[in-house]
Structure 1
Amino acid sequence: MNILSIQSHVAYGHVGNAAAVFPVQRMGHDVWPIHTVQFSNHTGYGAWRGQVFDAGLIGDCVAGIAERGVLGACDGVLSGYMGSADTGVAVLDAVTRVRAANPAALYCCDPVIGDVGRGVFVRPGIAEFLRDRALPAADVLTPNQFELDLLCGAPTDTADGLRAGLASLHARGPRAVLVTSYVGEDTPADAVDLVASGDGGAWRVRTPKLALSVNGAGDAVAALFFVTFLAEGSVPGALGHAASAIFGLLKATLEAGTRELALVAAQEEFVRPSRVFAPEAV
């Protein structure tokens, strides 16, 4: 398959396209990356160099791909962090153009807004853009739990709240939803859940909680879920593979003692995870 991935990029480390592109390629698919920013490293270090690109770059690159006569071969569009509402508009324009060339193409939106403990960390207007415009346009949505609650407008840490929240998202457009990290009322303190919904049901994978905090894991798991869903068409199948692969990656990162994801060292996890977690219906 061919995936158009529109995200930020860093020279050192792994976030945005630097976290999403290689896992997809290792799974045997081609990626056409468009970078919305080019930084030396991710901002979690507190200092970085580089620049944010003008939103017009996205349209220019998509137009250039179209001029090669291959836009109809694009199977899916993946978007992540949006630095401005203008970038978001350009992403949706790209989705429209891809769908015109290939009506079967799907759009996966990773609605990067914030996280538990940090709150909203994007610029004013981005959260509203994602809620009101990107979400309804998406076939696949991959929020974390903080973003899920914000997009739903209600807490989802109970079973009833989770079901209601997921149903409200599906009613607005997305066929599949992956909650990339979830802690509910019955989640043990030493575990973390990934939850996915679609195909008329919802499933959970529970993995051990690892003692590390790294940037880019959400970008990687969103890409893993999306391409598996595109290839297999199964929500629980995509959940099982993405959860198993990301756990293997994080475990390898912990064992390496690095601050950045061990993408290259753990690359076999994207194809054949060393530990397989089976989804259970919720």
Structure 2
Amino acid sequence: MTNNTIEPHIISIQSTVSTGYVGNNSASFAIQLHGINCVAMPTILLSSHTDKPVYYGEAVPKELFDKLARGVLEINTAQLTQYVVSGYLKSKEIIDATAKFIKQLKAQHSITYIYDPVFGDTRTDGLYIPKEQADYSKERLLSLSDILTPNHFELEYLLGKRITNEQELITAVQADEVLSSKIIVLTTAEMKENVNHQVEVILINQGKLSHFYADNIPVEVVGTGDLFTGTLSAQLTKGRTIEEAIQTSMNFLSEVLRYVHLHGLKEMNAMAILQAQDVLAVKYK
């Protein structure tokens, strides 16, 4: 039995907030519910998520991020890690530092990098970070990724094309020099073919589309993408196939949102996430 089996880790490079469940606050929780150690690398420190009327904080200085990365590398954490995830990255300096860190991790060990763009959505009518940073994130991190988990808006942004149906989707991805070689998990897909208006995730892998569905819970909260990607990475670490990991992650998120809706909450909380853990209690390969 290897050390990776005894004590698996996931490295999660995301925002940290003092209160609330976005970024690493939600992703780390989901990862830990799987019995996996989360190595949480902060990219920005905020008092709360940015949908709040008032919030304070700032991006982590590059010098500090580099020191944290160096410490993680020098204690051989990479040897215990199969997956590294990146999420909200607002400053160009932290994007550079993240790219450097991922290259160093991959040089130490066979690691799969999951890139969650986290720079916009249709809910906010577009980008919620400056365009310069979004473009820089695409330039520096996309090529390093093995799996990416964009929402519908983010995939359109990466492709530079409007996508309304499955044929447009597969044609655009296959024509893209970089994206055509990636495993893409399109979250919150908005396709004309989804006539039942369920929550849909589409897997695009080697030119093939696979569809996954969950109940459409009538509630909208922040942090769901972070929670989904964290759960996905944990499911994969546990040995699930990408298809199994997607469906379980969707079911888990549905249970969280069902609790939020039932209790009239405005956002996720610890109990909403904790009570959904039964979905994760499956026999792993």
Structures share a fold, TM > 0.5?
yes
Q: CA RMSD in A?
A: 2.2
1:37 matched to 2:51? The reply is no
1:194 partner SS: strand
- The answer to whether the 8 A contact 2:150-2:186 is kept is yes
Structure 2 Cα separation of the partners of residues 223 and 169 of structure 1 = 27
Aligned partner of 2:116 in structure 1 is 110
Structure 2 letter corresponding to 1:70? T
Distance change (3 Å), C-alpha of 1:87 and 1:18: same
Deviation at 1:123, TM superposition (A): 1.7
Aligned partner of 1:243 in structure 2 is 250
Aligned partner of 2:158 in structure 1 is 151
How many residue pairs are counted as aligned between the two chains?
Answer: 274
Structure 2 Cα separation of the partners of residues 123 and 153 of structure 1 = 16
- The answer to whether the 8 A contact 2:10-2:81 is kept is yes
Matches within 5 A, 1:267-278: 267-272=274-279
2:12 partner SS: strand
- The answer to whether the 8 A contact 1:190-1:208 is kept is no
Aligned partner of 2:211 in structure 1 is 204
Distance change (3 Å), C-alpha of 1:112 and 1:273: same
Q: Which moved more, 1:10-19 or 1:46-55?
A: 46-55
Structure 2 Cα separation of the partners of residues 262 and 204 of structure 1 = 29
2:185 partner SS: strand
Deviation at 1:199, TM superposition (A): 6.0
1:40-87 residue CA offsets vs partner (Å, 9 max, x unmatched): 211101211233211222211011122324332222211101111111
1:10-59 residue CA offsets vs partner (Å, 9 max, x unmatched): 11110110110000110121101011122121110121123321122221
Deviation at 1:162, TM superposition (A): 1.6
Distance change (3 Å), C-alpha of 1:113 and 1:168: farther
The structure 2 residue matched to 1:260, chosen from 235, 259, 267, is 267
Aligned partner of 1:280 in structure 2 is none
Structure 2 Cα separation of the partners of residues 185 and 3 of structure 1 = 36
Distance change (3 Å), C-alpha of 1:239 and 1:46: same
Structure 1 Cα separation of the partners of residues 139 and 83 of structure 2 = 21
Structure 2 letter corresponding to 1:130? S
Deviation at 1:132, TM superposition (A): 2.2
1:111-167 residue CA offsets vs partner (Å, 9 max, x unmatched): 012111421121232221232221111011010000111111212221101212343
Structure 2 letter corresponding to 1:112? V
Structure 1 Cα separation of the partners of residues 175 and 259 of structure 2 = 36
Q: Which moved more, 1:222-231 or 1:161-170?
A: 161-170
Distance change (3 Å), C-alpha of 1:20 and 1:216: same
Q: Which moved more, 1:152-161 or 1:185-194?
A: 185-194
Structure 1 letter corresponding to 2:255? G
1:83-119 residue CA offsets vs partner (Å, 9 max, x unmatched): 11111111111101111111x1111111012111421
Matches within 5 A, 1:1-282: 1-102=8-109, 104-117=110-123, 118-168=125-175, 171-172=178-179, 175-188=182-195, 190-198=197-205, 201-232=208-239, 234-272=241-279
Aligned residues with identical type, % of pairs = 23
